Amino acid sequence: MEALRQLCCEQHAHFEHDVKLSDYTTFRIGGKAPALITCPTPQSLEGVLRAVLREKSDFIVLGEGSNVLVSDQGLDTLVVRAFGERPVIERSKNVLTAYAGTRMDDVVKFAMGSSLEGLGFASGIPGTFGGAIVGNAGAFGKQISDCLLEVEVMDRQGCKKRIPGHDLNFSYRESALKHSQDIVISAAVQLKDGDLSKLRSEREEILALRHSKHPDYRKLPCAGSFFKNIVYPDGTRKASGWFLDQVGCKEISVGGAAVFEGHANIIINRGQATARDVYELSQVMKQKVFEKFQIRLEPEVRMLGVFN
Ligand SMILES: Cc1cc2nc3c(=O)[nH]c(=O)nc-3n(C[C@H](O)[C@H](O)[C@H](O)COP(=O)(O)OP(=O)(O)OC[C@H]3O[C@@H](n4cnc5c(N)ncnc54)[C@H](O)[C@@H]3O)c2cc1C
């Protein structure tokens, strides 16, 4: 551990020992991890990954923790956090390349400021660019894979690869990256020339809409939509929130976890919720929808640690 701490200093990464993961998730829930390393740049992420892989230490990667539920027992592995407060973004013509640990919304703002169109839909989506790519984040019928050119990843052998977006099997909230062990270092998006004032008003409209529908996770901790929407065989989708609303989910709670009154697919932490409370509440919600509609909801939020 001491060697890793030393290496983190050299790589300008931040090492913490015996860390409460609730401080690193938007749910504000989660037990401890033995150590957490925050990597603010692609160089620091690469350096840390190489060292961790050399030592053969088991680890998981986190971005801003806005799409995860960490168990109350925490994790027994090291956490490598790809996240930096300062955006790392480069522009070459209509292509933007950004560090995976840059906030998604900072990439959106950079694109808008450069009068480039194609990312406005992602205005206000919490989390990092890397997290958005892995989960194919989206809103208003668009998703990040629509404009993704390529990703640069490191595999668990320490080899770096560039993978074109069209080879990543993207679909609704899905990607090959979700099922591989690769770590996204950076990615490039291909955008179109746009008009700054139109892009500004699109962003303002989207932020206002999000503000009216979603809780502010800084005041009401949550991880956004808990379940994926329903995708029918013809590709059409129906919001899981609709089904959850029909079965009265807006009124239910377990311990400190409750369904957000404004959106039946969002679970909030009312202050003292445990991961167990959230998990049990999600099971009740799932069961109610199954009993009435014979539809099995699938979680969008990724569960880390032991829940059974
Ligand atoms: C209020 C609120 C509203 C939301 N609205 C939306 C929305 O409209 N649309 C939407 O799609 N999502 C939404 N979300 C969910 C969340 O913001 C997105 O899923 C986001 O993209 C997750 O990014 P993150 O950095 O927080 O990922 P994390 O939660 O940290 O990680 C998610 C998964 O990605 C993996 N991962 C993260 N970074 C990397 C990397 N560099 N390399 C490899 N794996 C990585 C992690 O291992 C984990 O399995 C919302 C969340 C909140 C709290």
Full 3-state SS string of 113-133: HCCEECCHHHCCCCCEHHHHH
Judgement on whether residues 188 and 219 belong to the same structural domain of the protein: no
Please return the burial class of 144, using the count of CB atoms within 10 Å of its CB with bins 0-12, 13-18 and 19+: buried
Judgement on whether residues 40 and 77 belong to the same structural domain of the protein: yes
Torsional sign, CA 218, 26, 19, 257: positive
Judgement on whether residues 58 and 7 belong to the same structural domain of the protein: yes
Ligand 1 nearest atom to the CA of residue 134, by list position:
34
Judgement on whether residues 159 and 244 belong to the same structural domain of the protein: no
pLDDT value of residue 34: 96
Confirm or reject: Cβ of 138 under 6 Å from ligand 1. Answer: yes
Judgement on whether residues 152 and 264 belong to the same structural domain of the protein: no
Torsional sign, CA 85, 181, 153, 192: negative
Query: In this structure, how many other beta carbons lie within 10 angstroms of the beta carbon of residue 257?
Result: 26
Q: What is the pTM of this model?
A: 0.97
pLDDT value of residue 89: 98
Please return the burial class of 294, using the count of CB atoms within 10 Å of its CB with bins 0-12, 13-18 and 19+: exposed
Confirm or reject: Cβ of 131 under 6 Å from ligand 1. Answer: yes
Full residue range of the structural domain in which residue 6 is found: 2-82
Do the beta carbons of residue 73 and residue 55 sit within 8 Å?
no
Torsional sign, CA 41, 133, 179, 165: negative
End residue of a domain, out of 82, 98, 123: 82
Q: The domain that contains 22 carries what CATH number? A: 3.30.43.10
- Mean pLDDT, consecutive 10-residue stretches, the chain (308 aa), reads 86 95 98 97 97 92 98 97 98 98 98 98 98 97 97 96 98 96 97 98 97 94 97 91 97 97 97 97 98 97 93
What's the gap in Å between 125 CA and the centre of ligand 1?
A: 9
Residue nearest to atom 19 of ligand 1 (CA): 67
pLDDT value of residue 264: 97
What's the gap in Å between 127 CA and the centre of ligand 1?
A: 5
Judgement on whether residues 134 and 203 belong to the same structural domain of the protein: yes
Confirm or reject: Cβ of 187 under 6 Å from ligand 1. Answer: no
Judgement on whether residues 220 and 206 belong to the same structural domain of the protein: no
Nearest to 33 by CA among 57, 10, 9: 57
Judgement on whether residues 280 and 197 belong to the same structural domain of the protein: no
What are the distances in angstroms from CA 225 to CA 48, 181, 210?
A: 32, 24, 12
What are the distances in angstroms from CA 183 to CA 1, 33, 121, 189?
A: 22, 19, 25, 18
How many structural domains compose the chain?
Answer: 3
Please return the burial class of 171, using the count of CB atoms within 10 Å of its CB with bins 0-12, 13-18 and 19+: exposed
Tokens matching residue 134: 């892995």
Judgement on whether residues 42 and 100 belong to the same structural domain of the protein: no
Total residues belonging to the chain: 308
Query: In this structure, how many other beta carbons lie within 10 angstroms of the beta carbon of residue 239?
Result: 15
End residue of a domain, out of 211, 236, 261: 211
End residue of a domain, out of 29, 59, 82: 82
What's the gap in Å between 223 CA and the centre of ligand 1?
A: 8
Confirm or reject: Cβ of 222 under 6 Å from ligand 1. Answer: yes
Q: The domain that contains 264 carries what CATH number? A: 3.90.78.10
Distance between CA atoms of residues 125 and 209, nearest Å? 12
pLDDT value of residue 7: 86
What's the gap in Å between 50 CA and the centre of ligand 1?
A: 24
Ligand 1 nearest atom to the CA of residue 61, by list position:
47
Confirm or reject: Cβ of 69 under 6 Å from ligand 1. Answer: no
Confirm or reject: Cβ of 165 under 6 Å from ligand 1. Answer: no
Distance between CA atoms of residues 129 and 133, nearest Å? 6
Residue 251 carries which DSSP code? G
Query: In this structure, how many other beta carbons lie within 10 angstroms of the beta carbon of residue 1?
Result: 12
Judgement on whether residues 201 and 243 belong to the same structural domain of the protein: no
Judgement on whether residues 193 and 263 belong to the same structural domain of the protein: no
Which residues are part of the catalytic machinery? 173, 225, 300
Judgement on whether residues 225 and 127 belong to the same structural domain of the protein: no
